[in-house]
Amino acid sequence: AQSVTQPDIHITVSEGASLELRCNYSYGATPYLFWYVQSPGQGLQLLLKYFSGDTLVQGIKGFEAEFKRSQSSFNLRKPSVHWSDAAEYFCAVGAPLSNDMRFGAGTRLTVKP
Partner 1 sequence: GAVVSQHPSWVICKSGTSVKIECRSLDFQATTMFWYRQFPKQSLMLMATSNEGSKATYEQGVEKDKFLINHASLTLSTLTVTSAHPEDSSFYICSARRREGRLADTQYFGPGTRLTVL
Interface ranges with partner 1 (CB under 8 A) = 32, 34, 36, 41-46, 49, 51, 90, 94, 96-97, 99, 101, 103-106, 108
Consecutive H or E run containing 103: strand 101-103
In the bound state with partner 1, the residue whose beta carbon lies nearer, of 74 and 104, is 104
In the bound state with partner 1, the residue whose beta carbon lies nearer, of 10 and 112, is 10
Give the whole-angstrom CA distance, residue 77 versus residue 43: 21
Nearest distance, CB of residue 52 and partner 1, angstroms: 8
In the bound state with partner 1, the residue whose beta carbon lies nearer, of 94 and 109, is 94
Nearest distance, CB of residue 9 and partner 1, angstroms: 9
Nearest partner of 24 among 5, 10, 11, judged by Cα: 5
Q: Give the burial class of 104: count Cβ atoms within 10 A of its Cβ; 0-12 exposed, 13-18 middle, 19 or more buried.
A: buried
Contact 39, 87 (CB under 8 A): yes
Nearest distance, CB of residue 62 and partner 1, angstroms: 20
Nearest distance, CB of residue 8 and partner 1, angstroms: 14
Look at strands 73-78 and 19-21 and give their pairing: antiparallel
In the bound state with partner 1, the residue whose beta carbon lies nearer, of 51 and 83, is 51
